[in-house]
Chain A
């Protein structure tokens, strides 16, 4: 857990954010940029051009050794041993009861070398769980302080990065990573992100973060690149239907609850932590379903608000925000599966005026059930 009284940790780029006049906020024990100017403008820039994010608060955990792959197959719900070196996967780490401890991206860097990227708030929990679960022949080390993480996201990300790197970006697939040079500095260059756009994440040495940030800023100046903060990151991921730990994911929920049962590799060989509970959950009728809601009014459904069906509570909003792309408030919510089915069958009007609604501070505001994600980029041909 994060000590609420400890001083906030600075990233290698905090000084840059301060010079840019960012509004800084405490997030999972770190001092992070919430926004630099208008978060809506930052959001739109990522959708239409490009945005630059400091994600150095994310946890970098190295798992190495001849038994590293086997250790991760046992510790996580996915099967990292099946990854080719240079590839990455979205996965989760669960408790023995199937509850989600964190969602992760695992990069296989070499046969016996994996980089596990954890949420800032959960890094300590993940390091401890991985250490407890690793047997002989696998070492787990928290390397968060040895990395800065810069994300360049948006349709112009590749054109901006191309002149700065020796990597052949056209050959870097989605969810792949390569050691590369950017502006003359060594990085691990990954084609990953949390915005619903094409983009890259650069794992750099702390001392290289500022010069790389500066080089990207300069290269992006004519291409609509802006620095973007956590506020924009949250609305971008919400539009893209991506879950956030603490909202859609948590210890009382399994990957199946979140509609992410596909990340649980029940067919992988051997036992793994949570297997028995998750096998049972896979067979059961789900108790809840994660759905997308679009509000009809301009009032915003927010985390924790009740979802109503015929004036009766049937679920809870997990994340909600005004959507800059849709121009309407959107939300993700857990609802009773029967309600989701009925609302879906009732059609696009949500079953007539106001059967489906969100209790927004005492007022039932009608909403419509929509498929997730809210936004999907049009891939370039």
Chain B
């Protein structure tokens, strides 16, 4: 199970990569392992607004369906079109090709939005859940 140190995390098992004024969002390796094979992803549509802490989509696996919680406030720039055809990349490459959507963070300029936790804090969280 990997928890890349350069990313930020939510307590609901999303990761966030902030580059300039764009945040890329996905689910963690821990989350994809707990879910099992992902068969369907419903990400928020480009142009829609998401609110930190609110559900904005869902990830379905063989056994369950889970909400995706928006990690930040902002407008969705892009959803990962690849997931329509091949949702399994969320399992095989959760931090790379399995990203879910990108959000515009006006004025963020590399600053970390509030409410996110560090890789070390996230590792503690998943250790405490086991």
Chain A residue nearest to B36 (CB atoms) is A39
Whole-angstrom distance between the alpha carbons of A322 and B36 in the complex? Answer: 12
Which residues 35-90 in A have Cβ within 8 Å of B in the complex? 35, 38-40
Q: Does B120 contact A (CB under 8 A)?
A: no
| Contact present for B60 and A40 (CB under 8 Å) | no
Q: Does B81 contact A (CB under 8 A)?
A: no
Q: Does B91 contact A (CB under 8 A)?
A: yes
Whole-angstrom distance between the alpha carbons of A321 and B37 in the complex? Answer: 12
Q: Does A237 contact B (CB under 8 A)?
A: no
Residue from B42, B60, B62, B65 within 8 A of A235 (CB atoms): B62
Chain A residue nearest to B41 (CB atoms) is A298
Q: How far is the CB of A322 from chain B (nearest CB, A)?
A: 4
Which residues 29-76 in B have Cβ within 8 Å of A in the complex? 33, 36-37, 39-40, 42, 58, 60, 62-63, 65
A-side contacts of B39, CB under 8 Å: 298, 300, 322, 329
Residue from B39, B60, B62, B91 having most chain A Cβ neighbours under 10 A: B62
| Contact present for A300 and B65 (CB under 8 Å) | yes
B-side contacts of A322, CB under 8 Å: 39-40, 60, 62
Which residues 5-36 in B have Cβ within 8 Å of A in the complex? 33, 36
| Contact present for B33 and A40 (CB under 8 Å) | no
B-side contacts of A235, CB under 8 Å: 62
| Contact present for A302 and B62 (CB under 8 Å) | no
Residue from A231, A299, A329 within 8 A of B63 (CB atoms): A231
| Contact present for B65 and A38 (CB under 8 Å) | no
Q: Does A287 contact B (CB under 8 A)?
A: no
Whole-angstrom distance between the alpha carbons of A39 and B38 in the complex? Answer: 10
Chain A residue nearest to B67 (CB atoms) is A361
Q: Does A23 contact B (CB under 8 A)?
A: yes
Using A23-B33, A39-B37 as known contacts, say yes or no to A299 and B62 having CB atoms under 8 A apart: no
Q: How many residues of A contact B (CB 8 A)?
A: 17
Q: How many residues of B contact A (CB 8 A)?
A: 12
Q: How far is the CB of A141 from chain B (nearest CB, A)?
A: 35
| Contact present for A298 and B40 (CB under 8 Å) | yes
Q: How far is the CB of B120 from chain A (nearest CB, A)?
A: 25
B-side contacts of A234, CB under 8 Å: 63
B-side contacts of A299, CB under 8 Å: 40, 42, 60
Which residues 296-311 in A have Cβ within 8 Å of B in the complex? 298-300, 302
| Contact present for A40 and B37 (CB under 8 Å) | yes
B-side contacts of A300, CB under 8 Å: 39-40, 60, 65
B-side contacts of A39, CB under 8 Å: 36-37, 62-63
Whole-angstrom distance between the alpha carbons of A29 and B39 in the complex? Answer: 29
Using A231-B63, A302-B65, A322-B62 as known contacts, say yes or no to A38 and B37 having CB atoms under 8 A apart: yes
Question: Could you mark each residue 214-255 of chain A with 1 if its beta carbon is under 8 Å from any beta carbon of chain B, else 0?
Answer: 000000000000000001001100000000000000000000
A-side contacts of B33, CB under 8 Å: 23
| Contact present for B62 and A231 (CB under 8 Å) | yes
A-side contacts of B42, CB under 8 Å: 299
Q: How far is the CB of A246 from chain B (nearest CB, A)?
A: 15
Chain A residue nearest to B40 (CB atoms) is A298
Whole-angstrom distance between the alpha carbons of A232 and B4 in the complex? Answer: 31
Whole-angstrom distance between the alpha carbons of A35 and B37 in the complex? Answer: 10
In the A-B complex, list the 6 residue pairs whose CB atoms are closest, starting with the nearest.
A322-B39, A298-B40, A40-B37, A39-B62, A38-B37, A39-B36
Q: List 16 extra interface pairs beyond A231-B63, A298-B60, CB under 8 A.
A: A23-B33, A34-B63, A38-B36, A39-B37, A39-B62, A231-B36, A299-B42, A299-B60, A300-B39, A300-B40, A302-B65, A321-B63, A322-B40, A322-B62, A329-B39, A361-B58
Of the A-B pairs whose beta carbons lie under 8 Å apart in the complex, a sample of 7, sorted by A's number, is A231-B62, A235-B62, A299-B42, A300-B39, A300-B65, A321-B62, A322-B62
- Residues in A lying within 8 Å of B, measured CB to CB: 23, 34-35, 38-40, 231, 234-235, 298-300, 302, 321-322, 329, 361
